[in-house]
Amino acid sequence: SFEPRLGPAQQRGPCPVQDMMDIEVKPKPPRPHWYERHVQPCMAELLGSALFIFIGCLSVVEDLGGTGRLQPALAHGLALGVTVAILGDISGGHFNPAVSLGVWLVGGLNMTMLIPYWLSQLCGGMIGAGLAKAVAPSERFGNASGGAFGGGITADEQIPGVLVGEIVMSSFLLLVVCMGAINGRTRTPLAPFCIGLTITANILAGGGVSGACMNPARAFGPALVANCWDYHWVYWVGPMVAALLVGVLLMGDQATRLLLK
């Protein structure tokens, strides 16, 4: 029998040019519009912060039944959990300058968006506190200082305990946010639920210590509207220090660790 002998070109296999023609070239997905990349997340942060702080302030002002910390704890936790769930896909659902700082430190937020997020959250805090003042009776609003923090501190000797309480509770919140929503190995769709529960637990446990603010925007809005600035700096220093601590000590995967990458 006669078997044809293959030439050098045939021995090399299929034609490379034909292989390249057979490869399907997939077009790159279109880049999101600048509005969706920059403006829409800030609008979501402003809206979410306004709604959350409105509910939070109103829960304090309208707590007439003597429920203590239960009503503010449930109102803050439920409001934050819901706003994170519905707006989280747009902006990440921070609604808190300390959370934005912590998320940026672990690589979950572009540095160019950090300051716009902070401004949006603070403006949202002012709007939320202003709405609470508009709907609440003026006498109740004045008696509760508009839901502002700092009124429970009566002596400088309390400052160390208040500051440590804010740092620890804010660290707990930031750990839940970073590990539940950002870290690749522990990220869960239940993150909004976990964040809301953390807020509720912190207020129930530490509301009598420091008020359990954990959020500079939550402190700033009612302080400005009610003109109540007593020991206001504590509610900035505590959460921001907690963000730095969590960013440095986070035991996440390589993408979210600052140290030992």
Tokens of 68: 């203590």
Candidate CATH numbers 1.10.760.10, 3.40.50.460, 1.10.10.1100, 1.20.1080.10; the one for domain 38-256:
1.20.1080.10
C-alpha distances (whole Å) from 232 to each of 60, 220, 250 are: 18, 8, 28
C-alpha distances (whole Å) from 166 to each of 34, 72, 99 are: 37, 17, 14
Q: How far apart are CA 204 and CA 211, in angstroms?
A: 10
The full set of domain ranges for the chain reads 38-256
Residue 238 burial (CB < 10 Å; 0-12/13-18/19+)? buried
User: What is the number of alpha carbons within 13 Å of residue 155 lying toward its C-beta?
Assistant: 2
* pLDDT tens, the chain, 261 aa long: 444 454 554 454 555 555 555 555 566 667 777 677 789 999 999 999 999 999 999 999 988 666 678 999 999 999 999 999 999 999 999 999 999 999 999 989 999 999 999 999 999 999 999 999 999 998 989 988 999 998 778 778 899 999 999 999 999 999 999 999 998 889 999 999 999 999 999 999 999 999 999 999 999 999 999 999 999 999 999 999 999 999 888 767 777 777 666
Number of other CB atoms surrounding residue 208 within 10 Å: 13
